[in-house]
């Protein structure tokens, strides 16, 4: 975030009139004496100092972990060989003529299980970026066992075919050893791709989406004209100092100023997030058959949990989840939601008892192993403290969810976080994206004004 640095000396007050922090019309009559260098330096303090403005940096999107690896392997699958292609290109000029001569002298009785031919652009032809392209033309695989004479005939036909290529085209070294190594690498990459595809399919099956009509009618129900007018009035400048709603159970009061965080391009604040999570819990209590049994910690829980001298401090939050205070045991819940605030970015952690896993959802694709370790330790201490029993969560998965809607700007992370909790508590897939955020802002404002989540 941006920072503003100023000199608090009263003599510098006049420097605030100019946009740059310095008043160019200011006239200073005092002159520096030349008695000593020390006195001259000390007198420099009478001159106004300019404001120093630092550029505001929004969070940047990045790809890591499972998504990056999958993307890399798919690039190879599609023929964009990455580093391998760059290496081939760098040796293209040196290998062109020897490769063509080798094609002319291929012996007919030597066996070959596969031939790989690469088309290299002309030396003089380059794209706008100055990088020539390397394109995989064909990989011919002979998986059937044939007689040696048939293999020789097939090889001669293939070599004759590629000998007709223009001199601009290059042929990779066709000796049996290099071909065998290349085949081994390609088979390994194909296996990795199939393995990652299978893992992705299993993860998607683990989150079955409810019927299509349920998803369309409930989470995406449009606002009525009256509701739109109510939200517009609450977000107007005239209501900034008014108390709009007061939630007695959580003792949270929302003023017009606080509700402004649901305006376009604004960052969500703690009060709005915490009240919305309270409304999600009340929604579950009204319709327990329709929603999972969940617990929603507020935005201060995780900060308190890791605020001890040595980091982790269970005793600081031990009283937050008593049976008397909640009306239920924490470990009776299917899912426990924990908002995570990282200075200027919101994420969501989930203790998923239903599927026995700890989950981390970041709309920018980040991953924080420390958060999941702290929550694993917390739930172990919580069960031990409240029931006297021990629970082993070492076998639970730690999942950094990647197949989720991604944030495409620097201000919607809070909205993504609360909608992750909303959809997970419905036990449906995260079937929304960045385009739904303006609607979700209006809908959240409407639900807060009515103190009822739908």
Q: How many CB atoms lie within 10 A of CB 298?
A: 19
Among 205, 236, 269, identify where a domain stops. Answer: 205
CA-wise closest residue to 116 among 99, 133, 93: 99
DSSP 8-state code for residue 252? E
Q: Are residues 290 and 430 both part of a single domain?
A: yes
Q: Are residues 263 and 396 both part of a single domain?
A: yes
In a domain, 422, yes or no: yes
Residue 140 CA to residue 116 CA, distance in Å, equals 7
Residue 70 CA to residue 203 CA, distance in Å, equals 14
Residue 60 annotated as catalytic: no
Residue 234 CA to residue 257 CA, distance in Å, equals 9
Longest dimension (CA), the chain: 104
Measured at the CA of 388, the angle between CA 396 and CA 313, to 5 degrees, comes to: 70
Q: Which of 12, 347, 413, 422 is catalytic?
A: 413
What is the model's pTM? Answer: 0.56
Overall average pLDDT of the 221-240 stretch? 95
In a domain, 251, yes or no: yes
Residue 121 annotated as catalytic: no
pLDDT tier at 196, thresholds 50, 70, 90: confident
- Structural domain tally of the chain? 3
Contacts for 54 with CB less than 8 Å, ≥ 6 apart: 2, 3, 4
What phi, psi does 341 have (nearest 5°)?
-110, 125
Residue 403 annotated as catalytic: no
In a domain, 370, yes or no: yes
Residue 38 CA to residue 170 CA, distance in Å, equals 74
DSSP 8-state code for residue 311? B
Overall average pLDDT of the 277-299 stretch? 96
Query: Percentage of the chain with pLDDT > 90?
Result: 50
Q: Is the predicted pLDDT of residue 24 greater than 50, yes or no?
A: no
- pLDDT value at residue 449: 97
Residues in the chain: 454
Q: Are residues 183 and 281 both part of a single domain?
A: no
Q: Which of 345, 347, 412, 422 is catalytic?
A: 345
CA-wise closest residue to 361 among 398, 396, 317, 332: 398
Q: Is the predicted pLDDT of residue 339 greater than 60, yes or no?
A: yes
Q: Is the dihedral of CA 201, 207, 213, 215 positive or negative?
A: negative
Q: Are residues 46 and 133 both part of a single domain?
A: no
In a domain, 58, yes or no: no
Q: Are residues 250 and 161 both part of a single domain?
A: no
Residue 114 CA to residue 145 CA, distance in Å, equals 13
How is 334-354 classified by DSSP, letter by letter?
A: SEEEEEEE-SS-EEEEEEETT
Q: Are residues 253 and 196 both part of a single domain?
A: no
Q: Are residues 352 and 416 both part of a single domain?
A: yes
Among 205, 227, 244, identify where a domain stops. Answer: 205
In a domain, 26, yes or no: yes
- pLDDT value at residue 308: 85
In a domain, 134, yes or no: yes
Q: Which of 12, 121, 362, 412 is catalytic?
A: 362
CA-wise closest residue to 330 among 283, 379, 281: 379
For 70, the domain range is: 65-205
Supply the CATH number for residue 266's domain.
3.40.395.10
pLDDT tier at 48, thresholds 50, 70, 90: very low
In a domain, 255, yes or no: yes
Q: Are residues 117 and 265 both part of a single domain?
A: no
Q: Are residues 123 and 224 both part of a single domain?
A: no
In a domain, 60, yes or no: no
Q: Is the predicted pLDDT of residue 50 greater than 50, yes or no?
A: no
Q: How many CB atoms lie within 10 A of CB 446?
A: 21
Q: Specify the residue for token string 């920072």.
A: 3
Q: Are residues 41 and 173 both part of a single domain?
A: no
Q: Are residues 284 and 413 both part of a single domain?
A: yes
CB 434 within 8 A of CB 406: yes
Q: Tell me the β-bridge partners of 296.
A: 337
161-170, 321-330, 385-394 — which is least confidently predicted? 161-170
Q: Are residues 154 and 20 both part of a single domain?
A: no
pLDDT tier at 103, thresholds 50, 70, 90: low
β-strand pairing of 397-400 with 357-361: parallel
- pLDDT value at residue 394: 93
Among 155, 185, 205, identify where a domain stops. Answer: 205
């Amino acid at each position: 975030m941006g920072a503003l640095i100023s000199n608090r000396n009263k003599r510098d007050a006049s420097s605030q009139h100019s946009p740059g922090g310095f008043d160019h019309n200011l006239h200073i009559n005092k002159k520096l004496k030349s008695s000593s260098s020390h006195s001259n330096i000390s007198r420099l303090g009478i001159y106004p100092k300019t404001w120093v403005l630092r550029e505001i940096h929004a969070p940047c999107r990045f790809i890591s972990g499972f998504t990056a690896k999958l993307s890399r392997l798919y690039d190879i699958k599609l023929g964009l060989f990455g580093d391998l292609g760059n290496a081939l290109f760098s040796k293209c000029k040196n290998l062109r003529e020897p490769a063509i001569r080798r094609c002319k002298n291929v012996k007919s009785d030597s066996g070959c299980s596969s031939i790989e031919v690469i088309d290299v652009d002309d030396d003089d032809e380059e794209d706008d970026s100055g990088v020539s392209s390397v394109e995989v033309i064909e990989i011919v695989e002979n998986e059937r066992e044939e007689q040696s004479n048939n293999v020789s005939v097939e090889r001669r036909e293939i070599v004759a075919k590629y000998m007709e290529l223009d001199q601009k085209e290059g042929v990779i070294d066709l000796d049996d050893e290099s071909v065998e190594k290349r085949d081994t690498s390609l088979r390994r990459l194909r296996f990795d791709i199939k393995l990652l595809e299978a893992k992705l399919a299993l993860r998607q099956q683990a989150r079955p989406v409810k019927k299509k009509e349920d998803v369309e009618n409930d989470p995406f129900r449009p606002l009525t004209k009256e509701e739109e007018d109510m939200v517009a009035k609450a977000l107007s400048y005239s209501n900034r100092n008014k108390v709009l709603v007061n939630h007695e159970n959580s003792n949270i009061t929302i003023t017009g100023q606080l509700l402004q965080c649901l305006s376009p391009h604004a960052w969500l604040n703690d009060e709005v997030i915490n009240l919305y999570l309270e409304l999600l819990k009340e929604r579950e209590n009204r319709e327990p058959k329709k929603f999972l049994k969940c617990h929603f910690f507020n935005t201060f829980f995780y900060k308190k949990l890791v605020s001890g001298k040595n980091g982790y401090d269970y005793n600081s939050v031990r009283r937050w989840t008593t049976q008397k205070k909640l009306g239920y045991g924490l470990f009776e819940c299917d899912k426990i939601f924990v908002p995570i605030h990282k200075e200027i970015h919101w994420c969501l952690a989930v203790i998923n008892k239903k599927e026995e896993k700890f989950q981390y959802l970041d709309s920018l694709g980040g991953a924080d192993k420390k958060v999941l370790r702290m929550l694993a330790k917390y739930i172990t201490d919580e069960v031990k403290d409240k029931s006297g029993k021990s629970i082993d969560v070492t076998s639970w998965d730690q999942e950094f969810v990647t197949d989720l809607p991604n944030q495409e700007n620097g201000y919607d992370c809070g909205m993504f976080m609360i909608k992750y909790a909303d959809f997970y508590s419905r036990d449906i897939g995260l079937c929304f994206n960045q385009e739904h955020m303006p609607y979700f802002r209006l809908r959240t404002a409407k639900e807060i004004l009515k103190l009822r989540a739908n």
